[in-house]
Homo-oligomer: A and B are copies of this chain.
Amino acid sequence: MYRTVTCGELRLADAGKIVTLAGWVQRIRKMGGMTFIDLRDRYGITQLAFNQGTEAFEKANGLGREFVLQVVGQVIERQAKNPQLPTGEIEIDVKQLTILNPAVTPPFTIEDETDGGDDLRMKYRYLDLRRQCVRKNLELRHKMAFEVRRYLDEQGFLEVETPVLVNSTPEGARDFVVPSRMNPGLFYALPQSPQTLKQLLMVSGFDRYFQIVKCFRDEDLRADRQPEFTQIDCEMSFVEQEDILNMFEGMSRHLFKTILNIDLPKLPRMTWADAMKYYGSDKPDTRFDMTFVELHDIFHAAEANKAEEERFSVFANAAYIGGICAKGCATYTRKQLDALTEFVKRPQIGAKGMVYARVEENGNVKSSVDKFYSQDVLQQIAAEMKAESGDLILILSGDDAMKTRKQLSELRLEMGKQLGLRDPKKFSCLWVIDFPMYEWSDEENRLMAMHHPFTSPKPEDIPLLDTDPASVRANAYDMVINGVEVGGGSIRIHDAQLQEKIFEILGFTKEEAQTKFGFLMNAFKYGAPPHGGLAYGLDRFVSLFAGLDSIRDCIAFPKNNQGRDVMLGAPGVLDPIQLDELMLDIRKK
């Protein structure tokens, strides 16, 4: 060992000891007859003191940032203590200094507040990772993964490694593929998730399976997506939805307690229908209320009594009118309100406009549609919305209720942000349940599985499969924290006849179903237990716990939006010999 202690452990009680330390030069301060160096390692920072006239002093003055040192010295009490630092009461009177490795000047400062831009930091990610604020995210990730394993192990789950070189999955996103040299012309696929394999493990009787596992999706990358990401993948046999919700609520409780020392209350459950109705989102941020109030009936009643030419055609023709109440925001200026209107009109959100109404001190409601509606109607609106003096009402409307709700959801989140209601240190968790089985795809002109085709319908909704499939609810559930879907899953179908019916509704012929899913269906013939499960996105889960906006910051070596690792230079050019061995040619543009 090059050290007897780390840079994070010495305290005043250690004064007098002779110690050996090793680490990196964080900072050098020359003050007349003394030179001070902050020596850094993963565990902390310790101040080194060098006295003029010593050999070590001369050497110390020749050092630069990020040099790697080994020092031997005596622990002494500091004159000027630093209460910010756990080691701030002591320093090392250095007797002997060895330069283990010199360092050229790094391209950016290794500090929490660095001068390095994103691209530069990604190129030198190994230096970026030296910054304490970055490293602590990865320490958190380690701890969370470890506690997940500890909890699941205690609950009798077995971690089973499933293969990375698998076959292409039907009905998913785009696969990454791997050409097989031993089987020229054939390709492996990298798994988008071990869904099929974990279901097979249930058929095998593994009973309780989990895996913290890399998954891969070749999608066009949006912000906060990575081509490779990590799932906490779980499956259980002989269970119903209630069992799974309890088991994984327990896991979350364990994580909140052991990692953040937060006692998680019993998770509320919200149906998907309510989530859409009150938050316009299947992953509502419940750190703050500001829930939607539907105003369609009041406005339509008001319109009904009017002459054609007096009507506010926007509302009169709207399929959906909904509002949110921003407490205490009646003081918003015209400029602020115009900015909100611009916000909802951005193409990513797509609203046509926004109506607002302030409840004034005297109780009067002053709105942007005063010329269309009487104070009486506006008072009805305020009452419906429980808006009080000083509150601001924001209203969106549209032809498509679902789309308008999503727009209103964005507005709600923006208001939550502006009002400081989305504190990353505060956590609000819930289950969203009773997802619909299907969603209509305009593109494919058919019903699509909202989760995946193995998701089971609610038993009481099974009769609806014949009459009104779009209204059938699934035994599917998501865990949502602070507006982020951290996990989700479903109870699977284990009945062959029911599965056939589901395929039929999804528009597959028997032959197509066999071709696409025959592999799993065949396995099910040999005795499949009732089973279900879920998967958490570890990257998201960690970034939530870390209070980060992006998953990238809790990944050691992330890829950029072009799917490139600029540090490694991946992807790169292949040696022509490899292409020959793989029997592949690259097409010319």
Contacts and interface: CB of A to CB of B under 8 A. Distances in A.
A586 B583 contact: yes
Interface in A214-249: 214, 216, 218, 220-221, 227-228, 230, 238-240, 243
Given A206-B129, A207-B42, A186 B530 contact: no
A350 interface: no
A572 B138 CA distance: 37
Given A494-B100, A527-B68, A572-B187, A164 B40 contact: no
Contacts of A575: 168
Given A238-B22, A556-B162, A571-B183, A190 B203 contact: no
B177 A179 contact: yes
A163 interface: yes
Interface string A138-171: 1101100110010001000011111111111000
Contacts of A563: 165, 180, 182-183
B42 A568 contact: no
Interface in A37-69: 40-43, 66-68
A587 interface: yes
Q: Is the interface of A mostly helix, strand, loop or mixed?
A: loop
Nearest to A203: B126
Interface string A436-456: 000000000000000000000
Nearest to A1: B243
Nearest to A215: B164
A574 B187 contact: yes
Contacts of A238: 1-3, 22, 70
Given A42-B205, A139-B158, A574 B178 contact: no
A228 B163 contact: yes
B585 A183 contact: no
Nearest to A524: B101
Q: Chain A interface residue count: which class? A: 35 or more
Interface string A403-447: 000000000000000000000000000000000000000000000
Contacts of A287: none
A53 to B, nearest CB: 28
A73 interface: no
Given A102-B527, A189-B570, A587 B587 contact: no
Nearest to A206: B42
A66 B526 CA distance: 7
A124, A129, A149, A177 pick with most chain B CB within 10 angstroms: A177
A552 interface: no
A471 interface: no
A200 interface: yes
Given A184-B589, A186-B572, A583-B589, 16 more contacts: A1-B240, A2-B530, A23-B205, A42-B205, A42-B207, A67-B527, A102-B527, A126-B523, A126-B526, A138-B160, A142-B158, A146-B149, A162-B557, A182-B218, A183-B571, A188-B571
Interface of A: 1-3, 22-24, 40-43, 66-68, 70, 100-104, 106, 124-127, 129-130, 135, 138-139, 141-142, 145-146, 149, 153, 158-168, 174-190, 197, 200-201, 203-208, 214, 216, 218, 220-221, 227-228, 230, 238-240, 243, 494-495, 519, 523-530, 555-557, 559, 562-565, 568-575, 578, 581-587, 589
Give the 8 A-B CB pairs with smallest separation, nearest first.
A103-B527, A129-B204, A186-B571, A2-B238, A167-B570, A180-B571, A66-B527, A42-B207
